[in-house]
Structure 1
Amino acid sequence: MPAEYEKFRNLSPFELKDLLIQLASGRAQHTMLDAGRGNPNFLATTPRQGFFQLGLFATAESELSFSYMAEGVGGLPRRDGIEERFNAFVAAHKDEPGVAFLRRALSYVRDQLGLSADGFLQEVVAGILGCDYPTPPRMLKYAEKIVRHYLIREMAGGAMPEATTDLFALEGGTAAISYIFASLRENGLIKPGDKAAIGMPVFTPYVEIPELRDYQLQEVAINAAPECGWQYPDSELDKLLDPAVKVFLVVNPSNPPSVKINDAGLARIAEIVKTKRPDLIIVTDDVYGTFADNFRSLYSICPHNTVLVYSFSKYFGSTGWRLGVVATHVQNVLDRALAALPEDEKQALDKRYASLTPDVRGLKFIDRLVADSRSVALNHTAGLSTPQQVQMTLFSLFALMDGRDAYKAALKNLLHRRELALYRDLGVSAPDDAGSTHYYTLIDMAKVATQLYGTRFARWLITRVDYETILFRIAEETGVVLLPGIGFAVRRPSARASLANLNEYQYASIGTALRRMADEYYARYKQEKGAEAPEASVAPSPKPKGADPING
């Protein structure tokens, strides 16, 4: 890497992104195209319309109290008669956006989930007003039931009894991982020197967190194989047989390969847990699961050993809302491990959580997680804000009521078209890994170079050019921002492009810019080689979907 870029080598790709954006924005002759961070440029409008209409109804409900005051003072909503007043509101505003959705949502809650209409309405009305502390702190009563129904359908195909799952609503997936690792440490379930297995490639912070002084864990890489469609070979999964591995952290579908663990991989992990490692703690981040066909979470395969993390951020386009949940089975390895701690450690934990309950030893891990999120002493003010929980509930109802999965199909088609446009204008076939979500794509530089101009050129490119330098050149000369694959523990020279945050024609422009730079390097290669005949002078036409994939 040239000297001017060397100082940035150790930056997280998400910090490097800001530098690349500065370079990409610095030239007037091109438009900056940021395909770095995966913030989607699409979002679900219907449940948002419902949210704002519900806010108007809730404000009117509040005004039923203190209505004699002219100063804009409202009171707490009343349950008595709330369904009748809601129906009157719906009838009066039936043609306004979001109102029909609210009417259908109440019917679904009452008629399909069997929940109290009055109770649900009082919870969401008070919740959207934000007029009381989250109660229970872990999650609102009806919100938990509805979100749990959504999660079990999306993560387990509806094949698990819902009553066996506990949820904790919190501020997105990043908060979930932070809280989980902190509680594992505070409760003695991980200790410095323990091993943490991490499915690679992976979202960069998941590599960085275990190394922090807070945890000092030894990382064990469980490497997915690009030649196997980014699945984990048995030889890699067998690393989990080591009893020193206390926790297995995995993103499924993966980031950045965007491929779900296939049935064989799920079965192998389940077999390891059942026969050799019943003590293994699995933490799975399944934020991209809703983009995959027939998705199955590890939580549905190994429910007693798995902590499920799910964020609403990508699928509903709600990164700014910070909406996520942690799910654990009511009978789980974490609670068993707490019961098996040495007596001196139990006594220390008795003191830590003494302000919460006289029966600390009966306190479940997920409830300790809630308390630890507020340093225990502030447990009474724990919990995700109630307006956030209402929006989360409406997102869940929107998906549950979409019987034809029309919203899901539209997003999947949108992402796939963007990917095809990028690779079409780059001049190579698009990846087609089984189980791909197409949310990200890894542009494998060696494979792209081989498809364009042959193996000798690819070998020359990889040995002569630092691929991170190429990313700086791409940003500065074309305005395109990509992130280095090595920052996500990808072991091949590659670049990650998010397919979620630009429009189709812009991905075509990215493909054109990358092809132009590849042509420049090829011209340099021919000049250096002189009379040596190249293998190819022009790339073949892109193959249709289903052709040989680029596993990058």
Structure 2
Amino acid sequence: MTTETNTIDFSKFANLSPFELKDKLIEVAQTVPDRALLDAGRGNPNFLATLPRRAFLRLGDFALEESERTYSYLNGGFGGIPDGVGIVERFDTFAKQNANAEGVKFLQKALSYTKDRLGIDKQVFLNELVNAFLGCNYPVPDRMLTNIEQVVKQYIGQEMYGNIPMSNDFDLFATEGGTASMTYSFQSMFNNGLLKKGDKIALITPIFTPYLEIPELAEYELDIVELRLDEETWQLPDAEIAKLEDTDIKLLCVVNPANPASVKMSDETLDKIATLIDTKRKDLFIITDDVYGTFADDFVSLFAKCPYNTLCVYSFSKYFGATGWRLGVIGIQHNNVFDDALQNQSEEQKLLLDDRYKTLTPEPRTIKFIDRMVAESRGVALNHTAGLSLPQQVQMALFSLACLMDAEETYKDACKNIIRQRYNTLYKNMGVEMEKDVNRVDYYTLLDLDVLGAKMYGQEFVDWFKGNSKGKDFLFRLAHETGVILLPGKGFDVVHGSVRVSLANLTHHEYELIGRETRKVLDEYYHDFITATQA
């Protein structure tokens, strides 16, 4: 190893989030000038859905025409709020005049689809979209616009229910991405007395780092019980599922498909969890974060398997290449454990909450938990200005419609193929053949240094590598010598020595290079091992 990396004190980075550690790795990689940086750390995709974005722009052209009609006698770019009278006829004329503009035909199909499949009147929906694009009113309802919610519900149902008969008996709350959904969920559960400091919660680990970090914050101080995935199959063993029988555990947090492993829960695992919940833990709160579910084959969410108990978090960021749009939703069934728990609270607790929400309604006890989340997102006092930006809701609806109307799943197949081809390329260039797994999703992959080391060099090498703590400097050595940036599995609570590779954010050629360069560094470690054992 070079002297530069030998001088780094790795211990001082021990408590950093893997996403903060990535910045340190980039600093190390950039000490070598004029070399390409291959950052496969963060999972921001380098692909995106273009058609619903074009539709958004064309809708904007029409919306501005509608606005300018109101004050057409004035100059200076002055517009008003469209009233929707005759809007469908004018749109038909607009569509004919702009027939060659990509996105216009999409909007025509969208109005037809929502009328035929969801029973939404064309005039009502088009007027909602036009006014929402203009952003000229506050969000009303503040939780989500009425018809946009119906569209997004249909999309969520299509993607989360798999082969289970879909229900639309749930509400959605449009949020500023999946991270906002996580924040509002914990915050609202605490402010409503559903969770208290010191309560036990269960995490299915390894897991997306914030789920490890949020419970430890001073305002929460939750007691974490880990349900450990088997790091070979990435499924929950029976003994881990059985931990949920502990009635002191109030909440279960799940990321499915898993992050960093990028493997979905098998049907068998889902059924075992659902059976335990149904027979022994009907009182358990569940949060399932299903952002990567749309990349999986035949995906089924706990939101469908355990509907009464489960709050679903979904983000449009990854699948549509929309991390900068900040689009997410929270879904809760009409009949749910959260509302029932509120009804079963002590009179003392109910009086405290009556006082908290008294400015919203004369009967605060009737406010559903999901609507309390809306209020909590604006500190209750500013509930009248709550709600996701309306243009954001429009783009969310157009993303949803793009998939709902794609009967042949052209976009979905393209998304799956691009990440799976990169997976195969990475391992091929490392000289490793991986076994097939029907539950693997491949948005990320974990390079398990124990498994790979044994496959490539034998168990004695692995014992030497671990015994000499080589895993601690592997990422820095890789960054310094090759410019390759990966994230440590340990940051996601992975037990085995491993690194996470995002397969979403670089080119096919760059994954070839990452495979070769990673193998090169591992070969150097093997040379060090041979030298050490022969000395």
* TM-score normalised by L of structure 1: 0.94
Contact 2:252 2:284 in 1 (8 A): yes
Q: Distance in 1 between matches of 2:527 and 2:344?
A: 66
**SS of alignment partner, residue 143 of structure 2:** coil
Question: Who is 2:199 aligned against?
Answer: 194
Question: Who is 2:50 aligned against?
Answer: 45
Q: Distance in 2 between matches of 1:352 and 1:98?
A: 46
Q: Distance in 2 between matches of 1:250 and 1:2?
A: 39
1:387 Cα deviation from its structure 2 partner: 0.1
Q: Distance in 1 between matches of 2:528 and 2:185?
A: 51
Answer yes or no: is 1:214 the counterpart of 2:225.
no
1:431 Cα deviation from its structure 2 partner: 5.2
Answer yes or no: is 1:511 the counterpart of 2:515.
yes
1:159 Cα deviation from its structure 2 partner: 4.0
Question: Who is 1:204 aligned against?
Answer: 209
Question: Who is 1:347 aligned against?
Answer: 351
1:104 Cα deviation from its structure 2 partner: 1.1
Contact 2:163 2:298 in 1 (8 A): no
Answer yes or no: is 1:89 the counterpart of 2:94.
yes
Question: Who is 2:467 aligned against?
Answer: 463
Contact 1:328 1:366 in 2 (8 A): yes
Q: 2:60 aligns with which of 55, 64, 82?
A: 55
Question: Who is 1:226 aligned against?
Answer: 231
Q: Deviations along 1:520-551, whole A, 9 cap, x unmatched? A: 111111122228xxxxxxxxxxxxxxxxxxxx
1:465 Cα deviation from its structure 2 partner: 3.5
Bigger mean CA offset, 327-336 vs 520-529: 520-529
Name the % identity: 51
Q: Distance in 1 between matches of 2:323 and 2:168?
A: 29
Q: Distance in 1 between matches of 2:381 and 2:65?
A: 36
**SS of alignment partner, residue 188 of structure 1:** coil
Q: Unaligned regions of 5+ residues in structure 2, if any?
A: 1-5
Question: Who is 1:262 aligned against?
Answer: 266
Contact 2:163 2:300 in 1 (8 A): no
Q: Deviations along 1:25-71, whole A, 9 cap, x unmatched? A: 23125210000000000000000000001001100000001111111
Question: Who is 1:272 aligned against?
Answer: 276
AA in 2 matched with 1:458: V
AA in 1 matched with 2:474: I
Question: Who is 1:289 aligned against?
Answer: 293
Question: Who is 1:305 aligned against?
Answer: 309
When residues 360 and 161 of structure 1 are mapped into structure 2, their CA distance, relative to the original with a 3 A threshold, is farther
Contact 1:419 1:438 in 2 (8 A): yes
Aligned-residue RMSD, C-alpha: 1.2
Question: Who is 2:106 aligned against?
Answer: 101
Contact 1:172 1:312 in 2 (8 A): yes
Question: Who is 2:397 aligned against?
Answer: 393
1:433 Cα deviation from its structure 2 partner: 2.9
**SS of alignment partner, residue 64 of structure 1:** helix
Question: Who is 2:382 aligned against?
Answer: 378
Answer yes or no: is 1:407 the counterpart of 2:411.
yes
1:430 Cα deviation from its structure 2 partner: 3.1
Question: Who is 1:71 aligned against?
Answer: 76
Bigger mean CA offset, 50-59 vs 21-30: 21-30
1:3 Cα deviation from its structure 2 partner: 5.5
- Once the two structures are superposed, the pairs formed by residues 408-447 of structure 1 within 5 Å of their partners are 408-430=412-434, 432-447=436-451
Question: Who is 1:326 aligned against?
Answer: 330
Q: Distance in 2 between matches of 1:387 and 1:328?
A: 23
Q: Distance in 2 between matches of 1:201 and 1:465?
A: 21
1:160 Cα deviation from its structure 2 partner: 4.6
Question: Who is 2:173 aligned against?
Answer: 168
Paired residues, number: 530
Q: Distance in 2 between matches of 1:453 and 1:491?
A: 21
AA in 1 matched with 2:89: E
AA in 2 matched with 1:525: F
Contact 1:148 1:162 in 2 (8 A): no
Contact 2:158 2:166 in 1 (8 A): no
Q: Unaligned regions of 5+ residues in structure 1, if any?
A: 532-552
Q: Distance in 1 between matches of 2:435 and 2:502?
A: 14
Q: Deviations along 1:421-456, whole A, 9 cap, x unmatched? A: 111111111353331110000000111111111111
Q: Deviations along 1:467-490, whole A, 9 cap, x unmatched? A: 131101111110000000000000
AA in 2 matched with 1:118: Q
Contact 1:139 1:168 in 2 (8 A): yes
Question: Who is 2:3 aligned against?
Answer: none
When residues 27 and 87 of structure 1 are mapped into structure 2, their CA distance, relative to the original with a 3 A threshold, is same
Q: Distance in 1 between matches of 2:20 and 2:480?
A: 17
1:78 Cα deviation from its structure 2 partner: 2.1
**SS of alignment partner, residue 80 of structure 1:** coil
Contact 1:171 1:324 in 2 (8 A): yes
1:2 Cα deviation from its structure 2 partner: 6.7
Q: Deviations along 1:61-106, whole A, 9 cap, x unmatched? A: 0000111111111000121110011111111111112111111111
